[in-house]
Amino acid sequence: MAVQLAPLGRLLPIAGLQLGTAGAGIKHTNRDDVVLIHLTSEQASCAAVFTRNAFCAAPVVLAKQHLASTAARYCLINSGNANAGTGAAGLQAAQATCQAVAELHGGSAEAVLPFSTGVIGQALPVEKIRTALPNAIQALSEDNWTAAAKAIMTTDTQPKGFSRQVEVQGQTLTVTGISKGAGMIRPDMATMLAFIGTDAAVPSELLQRCLAQAMDVSFNRISVDGDTSTNDACVLMASGQGAVQISNEQDPAWTVLCETVTEVCQALAQAIVRDGEGATKFITIAVEGAANREECLAVAYTIAHSPLVKTAFFASDANWGRILAAVGRAGLNNLVLEDVQIDLNEVNIVRQGGVSPEYTEAQGQRVMQETDITIRVQLGRGEVSDQVWTCDLSHEYVSINADYRT
């Protein structure tokens, strides 16, 4: 049940970046579950960020190694199996799939970045993926983003993708991205999986900076359930086949690229929250007047991760005391309670250390019936503000995760 998540529109092709999908029958037999992305030009560059979970999956380990050793030319993605918690055998399996791409389509295995998502602790079915690869290769096309967005889904109810095209000094710049994720979402770098492409020519070190900046205000600002996955990864690919060329951060196109990539990342990140497992509410937690960003995020994530807050929103219950309690336990030293103000949308619920004199239960109830709600917390400690996006916690979330392996 996605919360006001618009249907997937047309995703713009990226010159020099091809995608192909195929069905390997890893978990389901009636859908594509393997994606191959090919950066066709030698001018292409690639940047990536990965989960900080200590039990990171075998494909994460291997993708890091490959990215550090040579220029990436392929991304190989499978859904239905995470290849995490699989030890040395998992690494060998991931390497075998990379080798299969190299043998079938050329290049070296090190030029392939593997990615997996799905159930943890199960052996990766290498032969199923190897058998499906010829079909994925045959399907390679620059206009295949939508098919790829569907193939990487697990518990997602809708595919997630977003495109943006802008003009830079008379030249057209295109950015298109897809992502997947609905549960086990509290990324410590990115989301479960996201793949973003641009036709600009950008050196890899600049591309990495662009991605890091975008992550910090998009995928690093979302939470569905407070769990960071073993497989989180986000890749930014620059094909170099468009008119825009960027050589340094002083180039006027650099700022435009970073802004556009950030816009795409924020759209993809918010789509993940709107499609959170069992979600019925999309909640923005905006913290203002903090002394620093750490205070903002401490308060925002304490609220976002509170089961009591999240279940109250699911019930449309204006139990604002749960929000107040979350702010109080966020760990801020010397918090002056009289300076704290809390609003739900336009309704002030807490002021000067207690309930607002103007607040009524009817006002709170009206706001809680809405699907898009902003919790605004003003701390009165400084000038810094930040925000986090989350969702409610429903019966359906429990059912989805209780039945995940059946």
Residue 389 in 3-state DSSP? strand
Residue 68 in 3-state DSSP? helix
CA 386 to CA 373: how far, in whole Å? 16
344 touches 367 (CB < 8 A): yes
Catalytic site residue from 191, 262, 284, 302: 191
Nearest alpha carbon to residue 356 among 373, 343, 345: 343
Give the CA distances from residue 250 to residues 47, 297, 360, 379, in Å, rounded to whole numbers and listed in that order: 20, 31, 53, 37
Is the four-CA dihedral 134, 118, 222, 272 of positive or negative sign?
positive
* CB burial readout 21-56, b (16+ within 10 A) else e: bbbbebbeeeebbbbbbbbbeeebbbbbbbbebeeb
Residues forming a β-bridge with 161: 178
Q: Tell me if residue 191 is catalytic.
A: yes
Question: Exposed (0-12), middle (13-18) or buried (19+): which is 268, by Cβ within 10 Å?
Answer: buried
Phi, psi of 283 (to 5 degrees): -120, 125
Q: Which DSSP helix (H) or strand (E) runs through 46?
A: strand 45-50
Which active-site residues does the annotation give? 191
